Amino acid sequence: MQKIALLVIALLLLSGFAMSVSDEDSASASVTVNQFVSITLTDYGTSGLDFQSLNPGTNDNPEKDQNADSGAVGVANDAISNVTVNLYVKGDNFCTDYPTCAGDTIAVTYVEYNAASTTPGTGLTASYVDTTVDLAPSASQDLWYWIDVPSGQAAGSYSSSFAFKGDTV
């Protein structure tokens, strides 16, 4: 009887050790997702913005490829962006020897743009200007451009560069 009792106790002890015992703990985890902006510029013309050959003293001369259906360029906040952006634009002075601009110039302030309609609107500057257009991811906006050529402007071929940026709201 004593052997059976010891055997039962031994089996009970062994079965206790064979049972699974678990312990659990946890740790906090965190991640910060950065803002990501990707904008794409689509030129609806052949190569850059082209105001063609113009006479001095003329105003509101449109970029040649824009029309009532589309602007001169389209700016898109790509689908891979994860934030809404404000659209900003700026330009350099038009120069006969761009980008050094030591020769004849037409100030960029003679250029107007509009993001809301097909009529001349806001003057372009050498510093970024907020177009007041907010672009959500996958949204796009056309921009229309016009140039005035001052009276007495020297004859020549003038070049410039326009810039576009999407800045987080």
Residue 30 backbone dihedrals phi, psi, to 5 degrees: -150, 160
Residues in a beta bridge with 149:
58
Residue 144, Cβ neighbours under 10 Å: how many? 23
**Would you state the pLDDT for residue 1?**
55
Q: H/E element holding 114?
A: strand 111-114
**Would you state the pLDDT for residue 45?**
86
**Would you state the pLDDT for residue 20?**
65
**Would you state the pLDDT for residue 169?**
75
164 Cα distance to chain centroid: 8
Instruction: Tell me the whole-structure pTM to 2 decimals.
Output: 0.80
∠ at Cα 106 (101, 107), nearest 5°?
A: 90
Residue 169: name the closest of 80, 78, 88, 73 by CA: 88
List of domains in the chain: 39-168 (2.60.40)
* 65-101: burial string, b at 16+ Cβ within 10 Å, e else: bbeeeebbbebbbbeebebebbbbbbbbbbbbebeeb
User: What is the DSSP code (8-state) at residue 21?
Assistant: -
Q: Which residue numbers in the chain have pLDDT < 50?
A: 8
User: Which of helix, strand or coil describes residue 2?
Assistant: helix
Tokens 């062994």 belong to residue: 14
**Would you state the pLDDT for residue 15?**
56
Q: Is 127 exposed, middle or buried (0-12, 13-18, 19+ CB in 10 A)?
A: exposed
pLDDT digits (tens, 9 = 90+) for 23-64: 899 999 999 999 999 999 999 987 889 999 999 999 999 999
**Would you state the pLDDT for residue 122?**
92
Distance between CA atoms of residues 106 and 109, nearest Å: 8
